[in-house]
A and B are shown apart, each in its own frame.
Chain A
C-alpha cells in the first residue's frame, strides 16, 4: 500500500472525512457537520490563539463542508490570516479557500489583495505562483483593478521564472475575459508575441492561449504572431517524436501547443505567400501523418494525433482557399466516417458539415452520402445520428435532394422524439428549396404530416399553403392529393387543416371528377369535423362558406350544417359566431357579393421562408449553413404571408387561427384584405353606408346604472326606437329578452342588432343570440333572446349595437347592455366561524383595496341617523351616500355591539371592511377596506357563491371603483342584501326602519337604538 500522506497530513481532517463517509443517512451527516461547525466556531472564537496548523486544519474542514454542498458563513477571516503565513502549506490552504469561496465582501477583498500584493512582490516564485493562481481563480473586477497593470510587467520581465510567466500569462487571460476594459494594451504586447519563440514550451503554450484571446479583439496589435506561430508549428510537426521530451504525448509532439497554434492562426486570414507556403507544408505534413500507421495502439495516441488533425482541418476550412487541402481534408474525414471509434465518427460528421459549405469541397463531401445515410440508420448514439442529419442537410443540393429528403423522411418514422421537430423543419426547407417539381414538394409535406404530424409546426403547414396559393401549376395537383390523403380513416389534424384550406380555395379544380364531386368533398371534410380542435373547426367553417361560393349546389347542405344546434349554439364563441355569420352571409348576400367576398386568396408577397427563420432560431445561426445564401440557386419565389382570413367577419373580434399567419413575418402585412375594424365586417356587407359602431347613446349610462339592480325596464328610447329589457338570472346563467319597438309608422330596413364584447370580456361572458328579422314594421315590436353564460368574473359590460335604415337614412345606435357581475351573485349560508376562516385566508396585498372618497352632499349626522333608523324609505333617493355610510355605520355598530352575532355574518364583514369617519357636517369620508374576498370568490366559481358577505361587498366595489353613482350604489346595496332572501340576510328597508324582516336582531327600533354604541364619529 503506498504512502497515504503525500505532503503534510491533517489527521483531524482525515478523521472528519471518514466520519462523514460513515454516516448512514443525510440526517446523520448534517448532524455531524453541525457538530463540527460548532466546534470550529468555538475554536475560532476562543481566547487561545490558534497556531497556524490548527487554523489551516479548520479552514480545510470548512472547505470540505462547503464542497459537500453546505453553506459556510464564517472562517473567511481566518483564511485571510493564513495568506500572510510564511509557511507554504498554510498559505496554500488559505488561497484555496479564498479561490473556492469567493466573497465580494469589500473589506475582505482589500485584505486579500494586500496579501496577494505582498506575495507578488516577494520574488519567491512559489509564493508568486500561488498569488497568480488565486487571481486567475477568482478573476473578479476588484482584482482586475488592482493587478491588471502589474501582471503584464511580471509576464515580460526578463528575470521572471518560467513557471511564473506561465501563470502570469493565463492570469492575465482570465482578467481580460472578465474585464477587458481594465487590461490596457501597451508595449508589453509585442514582447508577449515574442514569447512564441520562447525556449520553454510550457511558456509558449500559456502565451499562445493569451495571444489567441487578445488577437480576437485586437487583430492588428498581434498580427506579427502569425509568422511566429507558423514557424513554431513547423518546428513541432517536423520534429522527431523524442525531440520535445516531456512535451511529447504518446508519440505526438506537443499536441496541446499544436492545437493552440492552429487555433491562433484561425484568428487571421491566410498569411502572405512566403509564410503561407510554410503553413501549407505544415498542414500537408499533418494530413500525411494521419495516413501513417499509428505509433501506438493506445487511444491517447490516436486522440492526440487526431486532435491536431481536426484543428488543422478547421484551419483549412477557415482559410477556404486551397482546394487541394480541402479535398484531402474531406477524404480524411470520409475515412473517419467508418472508423470504429464513435468519437471519431461524431467529429468527422461534425467537421464535414462545415466542409460541405465550401464550394471547393462540396462535391467531395457529396460522395460520402451513402455512408452518412448508413450512419443515420445504424448509429446507436442519438447524438451521432443528429450529426448525420445535420450533414445530410448541409450536403443537400438539387442533385441529391430527392434522395436525401426520402431518407430523412424514412428516418423520421423511427427517429428519436427529441430531434423530430428539427428533422421536420429540415425536410420542409429542403423540399421547398430544391423542388423542381412542386408536386414533389406537396407530396413531401403531406408525407411529413402523415409520418410526424405532431411535430409539424404551424410554420410548415402555413408554408405549404402559401406555396400552393402562389403557384398556379400545382393547385390542381394539391387539391387532388389532399383529397386523396383525407380518405385515410385516421388522418392528422394538420392534414385536415391543409386539406380544408386547399379544398376551400381550389376544390373546384377537382370537382369535375365524379369521385370528388362537391358534395363528396364536403362530406369528406365534414366527417373529420367532429374530431378536430376548435381552431381547425373554425377553419373548416371558412372552408364551408367558400364552398357555398364555389359550389352553389351544396349551399343548402352547408346551410343545414351551419344551422344545426351544434354550430349555432356552440359553446365556443368563435365557432358560433362564424356559424351565425356564415349562415347569414350565405342566405343574405347575392351571388356577386359572395363571389367578391369569398374570392380566391391573392398571392402572398415574397419573403424569406418562415421555417428557415424558425430553424435558425432553434439551432443558432451558424448551423444553418451560409452556403444556402451563397449558392442559392434562385430566390425563393413564394414567400411571406399577408392578412389571410378571407371571409372571416369575426377577424375583428377574435384572431382566427388562419390569422396567425400574420405573426410569421416581421414586416407588416400588405393591406390586401380589408383591415379588421372594431365593427363587424359583416355589417359592411349588408349596408353600404355602415361605419364603425356608433358611440354610446347619450343618457344610456344613467339607464345602465338603473339596471344594475333591476332586471326589467326601458333601456333606451329616442324618437324612433325604444329598447326594453326583461331578464332573469339563475346561478351562472341568464336570459335576456330585448324588445325593439319601432315608434314610427315607417318600416325599419336592414335592422341588425349586434352584441359586441370587448376582448377581455369575451372570454368571461358567453352571449348567444339568434338574429332578428331584418325588417321591423312601423309600430311593431320585435323580440330578441340573449342567452347569457358567465364564465368568469368581469367588469365591462357588452355593448348592443343596432343598425338599421329608416326612410333612406342609416341609423346607428349603441347602448351598454346591463349585464353586470352582481346578476350572478348567490347567497350562501355560512356560520361566522367558517366565514372568518375563509376571510383570514385572503391576506394577499392584491386582495385588499382601500379607497377614500368625499360625499357629494352635505350631511347632518343626527338627522340622517334619525332618518336611518326611523326614516322613510321614500327618502332613499336623496343624499344616498350619507345613507350608505350610515347604513354601514349602523351595521358596524350592530356588529360590534353584539357579542356573538348569531347570524350576523354579513355584519361582521362590514365591520371588517368599513371604518367610517364622519368629519364635519358637510363632508363624510368613508374609508372602505375593499373586499379582499371579491376576486377570489368570483374566480372559484359562481355556483354557489361562497359567502353572504360577498353580496354585501359588491356595492363597495362599485363605490370604490367609481363605476356607479352613489345613488346606484345605494340601490345596489338594497338589492344585494334583499337578494339574500327572507330570514337569511338583510333587508335594507327593514334595517333602516328598524323592523325585522329577517333581521336577526331582537326587538324593534327602540332596542336597537338603545344598544347602539357610539358611532365611529370624530365629529
Chain B
C-alpha cells in the first residue's frame, strides 16, 4: 500500500498515512486530486478505480471516506477488508467510533493504525492483539485526565459503524 487517506464528505482530510517518500507539495496535490475524484463518484459505483498507475480502493463509512492506494499487483478485495478491519479497531477502541473521535483523538487513530499496518503492509490482523498493544500503552500512562470535550460536541455524534 502506498498511502491511506481519511477524509470527510466535505473533503476535509482527517488522517493521512504515507508509506512512500513524497514531498509535502506532492502529498497535497495527490490529496486534493483524489478527494475530488472519490467524492464525485456515485454511491453504487464500484469501490475500485484506476488512478495514475495505482489502484484506488475506497469505502465510505457514515461521513468518512477511507481511501487506500495500492499497486498494480495488490489485491483490491483484501484492501477493502483492511479498511474494514481498521474501522472495527477504531470502533472497538473508542466504542462506537464517530468522525469526532478521530478528530479529537487523532494521535490515537495514528497509533492504532501503526499497530495494524506498518510500512504499508499488514502487521497484525488479530483484533485482539492490536487492541492489546494499545490498551497496554494506555495502562502505562501516568496521569489519567478525563476530558469532557464530548459534552461540547452535543448531538453531532454519528457512528461510523
Residue A307 at the B interface, CB < 8 A?
Answer: yes
Within 8 A of B (CB), among A723-745: none
CB distance A18 to B152 under 8 Å? yes
Contact of B76 among A3, A10, A343 (CB under 8 A): A343
CB distance B44 to A380 under 8 Å? yes
Chain A residue numbers with a CB within 8 Å of B49 are 383
Chain B residue numbers with a CB within 8 Å of A246 are 126-129
**Min distance, Cβ A483 to any Cβ of chain B, angstroms:** 42
CB distance B75 to A254 under 8 Å? no
Contact of A259 among B78, B85, B105 (CB under 8 A): B78
Contact of A93 among B107, B120, B144 (CB under 8 A): B107
Q: Which of A37-45, A165-173, A431-439 contacts B (4 or more CB under 8 A)?
A: A165-173
CA distance A14 to B101 in the complex (A): 11
Contact with A along B52-92 (1 / 0, CB 8 A): 01000000000000000000110111101110110000000
Contacts A67-B16, A174-B19, A381-B46; A4 near B124 (Cβ below 8 A): no
Chain B residue numbers with a CB within 8 Å of A4 are 104, 146-150
Chain A residue numbers with a CB within 8 Å of B121 are 170, 173, 206, 209
**Min distance, Cβ A435 to any Cβ of chain B, angstroms:** 31
Residue B30 at the A interface, CB < 8 A?
Answer: no
Contacts A60-B107, A254-B125, A381-B46; A311 near B147 (Cβ below 8 A): no
Residue A178 at the B interface, CB < 8 A?
Answer: yes
Listed residue (A7, A178, A300) with the most chain B CB atoms within 10 angstroms of its CB: A7
Contact of A202 among B94, B105, B125 (CB under 8 A): B125
CA distance A177 to B118 in the complex (A): 13
Residue A256 at the B interface, CB < 8 A?
Answer: yes
CA distance A122 to B44 in the complex (A): 51
Contact with B along A304-330 (1 / 0, CB 8 A): 101110110010000000000000000
Contact of B95 among A2, A87, A171, A381 (CB under 8 A): A2
Listed residue (B47, B75, B133) with the most chain A CB atoms within 10 angstroms of its CB: B75
Residue of B nearest to A68 (CB): B13
CA distance A6 to B72 in the complex (A): 38
Contact with A along B134-147 (1 / 0, CB 8 A): 00111011111111
Residue A512 at the B interface, CB < 8 A?
Answer: no
Contacts A63-B107, A88-B137; A5 near B145 (Cβ below 8 A): yes
**Min distance, Cβ A354 to any Cβ of chain B, angstroms:** 11
CA distance A314 to B96 in the complex (A): 37
Chain A residue numbers with a CB within 8 Å of B111 are 92, 96
Residue of B nearest to A174 (CB): B119
CB distance B145 to A9 under 8 Å? yes
Contact of A14 among B104, B123, B124, B142 (CB under 8 A): B104
Residue of A nearest to B143 (CB): A8
CB distance A167 to B123 under 8 Å? yes
Contacts A4-B146, A8-B141, A136-B118; A255 near B44 (Cβ below 8 A): no
Residue of A nearest to B85 (CB): A249
Main secondary structure of the interface of A (DSSP, over half): helix
CA distance A245 to B126 in the complex (A): 9
Residue A11 at the B interface, CB < 8 A?
Answer: yes
Residue A426 at the B interface, CB < 8 A?
Answer: no
Residue of B nearest to A14 (CB): B149
Residue A588 at the B interface, CB < 8 A?
Answer: no
Residue A347 at the B interface, CB < 8 A?
Answer: yes
Residue of B nearest to A134 (CB): B114
Listed residue (B19, B114, B152) with the most chain A CB atoms within 10 angstroms of its CB: B114
CA distance A259 to B122 in the complex (A): 11
Chain A residue numbers with a CB within 8 Å of B136 are 126
**Min distance, Cβ A151 to any Cβ of chain B, angstroms:** 12
CB distance A53 to B143 under 8 Å? yes
CB distance A14 to B147 under 8 Å? yes
Within 8 A of B (CB), among A217-268: 245-247, 249, 254-257, 259-260, 263, 266
Query: How many inter-chain contacts with C-beta < 8 Å in the A-B complex?
Result: 216
Contacts A174-B19, A300-B84; A256 near B46 (Cβ below 8 A): no
Contact of A303 among B73, B80, B93, B104 (CB under 8 A): B80
**Min distance, Cβ A907 to any Cβ of chain B, angstroms:** 50
Chain A residue numbers with a CB within 8 Å of B107 are 60, 63, 92-93, 96
Chain B residue numbers with a CB within 8 Å of A178 are 21
Residue of B nearest to A304 (CB): B81
Chain A residue numbers with a CB within 8 Å of B143 are 8, 53
**Min distance, Cβ B122 to any Cβ of chain A, angstroms:** 5
Residue B33 at the A interface, CB < 8 A?
Answer: no
Within 8 A of B (CB), among A2-41: 2-11, 14-15, 17-18, 21
Residue of A nearest to B137 (CB): A88
CA distance A254 to B126 in the complex (A): 9
Listed residue (B48, B118, B143, B144) with the most chain A CB atoms within 10 angstroms of its CB: B118
CB distance A343 to B48 under 8 Å? yes
CB distance A202 to B46 under 8 Å? no
**Min distance, Cβ B73 to any Cβ of chain A, angstroms:** 7
CB distance A257 to B78 under 8 Å? no
CA distance A7 to B108 in the complex (A): 9
CA distance A64 to B110 in the complex (A): 12
**Min distance, Cβ B77 to any Cβ of chain A, angstroms:** 4
Chain B residue numbers with a CB within 8 Å of A6 are 93-94, 105, 108, 138
CA distance A270 to B137 in the complex (A): 45
Residue B28 at the A interface, CB < 8 A?
Answer: yes
Chain A residue numbers with a CB within 8 Å of B148 are 4
Contacts A8-B141, A89-B137, A178-B21; A343 near B44 (Cβ below 8 A): no
CB distance B78 to A163 under 8 Å? no
Chain A residue numbers with a CB within 8 Å of B19 are 174
CB distance B145 to A202 under 8 Å? no
Contact of B146 among A9, A92, A256 (CB under 8 A): A9
Contact of A163 among B48, B129, B147 (CB under 8 A): B129
Chain B residue numbers with a CB within 8 Å of A64 are 106
CA distance A257 to B133 in the complex (A): 20
Residue of A nearest to B136 (CB): A126
CA distance A136 to B73 in the complex (A): 22
Within 8 A of B (CB), among A146-190: 163, 166-167, 170-171, 173-174, 177-178
CA distance A1 to B150 in the complex (A): 9
CA distance A985 to B127 in the complex (A): 89
CA distance A177 to B124 in the complex (A): 20
Residue A828 at the B interface, CB < 8 A?
Answer: no
Listed residue (B72, B107, B142) with the most chain A CB atoms within 10 angstroms of its CB: B107
Residue A620 at the B interface, CB < 8 A?
Answer: yes
CB distance B133 to A163 under 8 Å? yes
CA distance A209 to B125 in the complex (A): 13
Listed residue (A4, A88, A126, A343) with the most chain B CB atoms within 10 angstroms of its CB: A4
Chain A residue numbers with a CB within 8 Å of B123 are 166-167, 170, 202, 205-206
CA distance A2 to B147 in the complex (A): 12
CA distance A178 to B128 in the complex (A): 31
CA distance A686 to B128 in the complex (A): 93
A-B contact pairs, 13 of them (CB 8 A): A4-B147, A5-B146, A60-B107, A67-B16, A88-B140, A88-B141, A163-B129, A166-B123, A174-B118, A246-B127, A266-B73, A343-B47, A381-B44
Closest 3 CB pairs of A and B: A174-B119, A307-B77, A9-B147
Q: Which residues of A contact B (CB under 8 A)?
A: 1-11, 14-15, 17-18, 21, 53, 60, 63-64, 67, 69, 87-89, 92-93, 96, 100, 126, 129, 132-133, 136-137, 139-140, 163, 166-167, 170-171, 173-174, 177-178, 201-202, 205-206, 209, 245-247, 249, 254-257, 259-260, 263, 266, 300, 303-304, 306-308, 310-311, 314, 342-343, 345-347, 380-381, 383-384, 620, 622
A167-B118, A174-B120 are known contacts; what are 19 more A-B pairs with Cβ within 8 Å?
A: A6-B108, A17-B103, A64-B106, A89-B141, A92-B111, A96-B107, A126-B137, A132-B118, A133-B114, A136-B119, A177-B119, A201-B125, A245-B126, A254-B125, A260-B122, A303-B78, A303-B84, A342-B46, A381-B44
Q: Which residues of B contact A (CB under 8 A)?
A: 13, 15-16, 19, 21, 28, 42, 44-50, 53, 72-73, 75-78, 80-82, 84-85, 93-96, 103-108, 110-111, 114, 118-129, 133, 136-138, 140-150, 152
